[in-house]
């Protein structure tokens, strides 16, 4: 009988209660920025739809409602994807702890595709202005921005460079672990 009562209690736990009592306290090891972003996604987009719903009763239709609200507010596909990742993390913890069963309902909702195409480039004048300002503030930032602008490198690729990657005689720069492979 006690086991049946505990099962009923677990099945009745709302998304908000699970978030507050179980999920959020377990996130203390995450970076502050991640916690801030996740909490904002929860407060603005997830909670208005899911907070009062028993966690075990969350279905793909509920997540379609979250997605629809975010799309209507013109949120970027990557933001919607991040919100769904948060819901999935909550679900996985709840499944681990016996509050729900099965895969996250997020797996059954199509997330808008992320379009990472560049939509705007700096003009030559903007690039000169940026580099001049950086040079007056930080020579290292200036040099890294120069590499980014003129070699098309990402920060991680620039930060990973060593002198063995530079061949001055042949004008070759070797990128050891490029994001695009």
Please say whether the dihedral angle defined by the alpha carbons of residues 135, 137, 138 and 144, taken in this order, is positive or negative.
Answer: negative
Tens of pLDDT, residue by residue over 139-154, are 999 999 999 998 888 8
- Assigned token pair, 107: 């797996």
Tens of pLDDT, residue by residue over 14-56, are 999 999 999 999 999 999 999 999 999 999 999 999 999 999 9
Count the neighbouring beta carbons within 10 Å of the beta carbon of residue 66: 22
- Whole-model pTM? 0.65
Q: Contact, 148 vs 140, CB < 8 A?
A: no
């Amino acid at each position: 009988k006690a086991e049946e009562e505990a099962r009923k209690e677990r099945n009745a736990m709302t998304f908000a209660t699970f978030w507050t009592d179980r999920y959020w306290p377990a996130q203390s090891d995450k970076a502050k920025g991640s916690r801030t972003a996740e909490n904002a996604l929860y407060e603005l987009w997830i909670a208005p739809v899911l907070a009062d719903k028993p966690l075990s009763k969350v279905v793909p239709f509920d997540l379609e409602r979250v997605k629809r609200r975010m799309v209507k507010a013109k949120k970027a596909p990557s933001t919607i994807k991040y919100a769904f990742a948060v819901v999935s993390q909550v679900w996985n913890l709840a499944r681990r702890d016996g509050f729900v069963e099965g895969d996250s309902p997020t797996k059954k909702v199509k997330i808008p595709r992320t379009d990472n195409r560049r939509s705007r480039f700096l003009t030559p004048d903007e690039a000169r202005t940026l580099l001049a300002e950086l040079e007056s503030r930080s020579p290292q930032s200036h040099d890294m921005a120069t590499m980014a602008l003129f070699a098309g490198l990402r920060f991680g690729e620039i930060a990973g460079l060593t002198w063995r990657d530079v061949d001055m005689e042949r004008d070759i720069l070797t990128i050891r672990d490029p994001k695009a492979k």
